[in-house]
């Protein structure tokens, strides 16, 4: 399938991915000589917890026929560089990007579900239109962004009334939340409240 109008090209995808991963604490290498099979269209990034190989393809057909080579490169790298017992040896990610979309929408799903050697993340032209799209694809690999202070973290229980509006009686919900906070059995507290005339 031809690229969608506005889809990012491979050079732009690689540059954006390199910037996003670097900004998030990864050490990025674009000229990694040990990744022999795919060369210029790829990068390798590493942080304290994982190793990522990202490969950008011009067409879906290239991705579909060459992803096994990309996987073999990363598996070879991990086996040469890391001891089998090292946690990172088991935390390798293969990110496959394509300017064009697959003809068969399930083709990408089949590749992603193949976790025999590495976990895979695939994104194609229709969802790779902006820098934000590339960041969303890589989001699974990026550190969580937490608020500066604990007081900025909203109590999840306080959000329940809005989330459950219209489906549960607000006073019943408050009774259950109060019981949970005081570490009492919520159902007993709810039954006791309902039993009072």
Three-class SS of 15-61: HHHHHHHHHCCCEEECCCCCCCCCHHHEEEEECCCCEEEEEEECCHH
User: 166 pLDDT band (50/70/90 cuts)?
Assistant: confident
- Higher per-residue pLDDT: 16 or 181: 16
Whole-number mean pLDDT of the chain? 85
**Per-residue pLDDT tens digits for 63-78:** 999 999 999 989 988 8
**Per-residue pLDDT tens digits for 43-63:** 999 998 899 999 999 999 999
Q: What domains are defined for the chain?
A: 10-141 (3.40.1350), 150-195 (no CATH)
pTM: 0.71
**Per-residue pLDDT tens digits for 74-129:** 998 888 887 777 777 678 999 999 999 999 989 999 999 998 889 999 999 999 99
User: Which H or E element spans position 95?
Assistant: strand 92-98
């Amino acid at each position: 399938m031809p690229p969608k109008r506005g889809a990012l090209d491979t050079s732009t995808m690689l540059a954006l991915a390199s910037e996003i991963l670097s900004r998030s604490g990864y050490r990025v290498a674009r000229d990694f000589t040990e990744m022999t099979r795919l060369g210029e269209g790829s990068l390798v990034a590493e942080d304290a917890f994982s190793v990522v190989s990202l490969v950008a393809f011009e067409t879906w057909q290239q991705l579909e026929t060459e992803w096994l080579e990309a996987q073999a490169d990363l598996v070879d790298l991990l086996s040469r560089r890391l001891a089998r017992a090292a946690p990172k040896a088991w935390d390798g990610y293969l990110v496959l990007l394509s300017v064009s979309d697959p003809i068969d929408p399930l083709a990408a799903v089949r590749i992603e579900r193949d976790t025999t050697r590495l976990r895979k993340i695939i994104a194609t032209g229709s969802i790779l239109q902006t820098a934000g799209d590339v960041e969303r694809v890589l989001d699974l690999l990026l550190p969580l962004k937490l608020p500066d202070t604990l007081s900025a973290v909203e109590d999840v229980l306080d959000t329940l009334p809005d989330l459950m509006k219209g489906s549960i009686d607000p006073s019943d919900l408050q009774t259950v939340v109060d019981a949970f906070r005081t570490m009492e059995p919520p159902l007993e507290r709810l039954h006791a409240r309902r039993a009072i005339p």
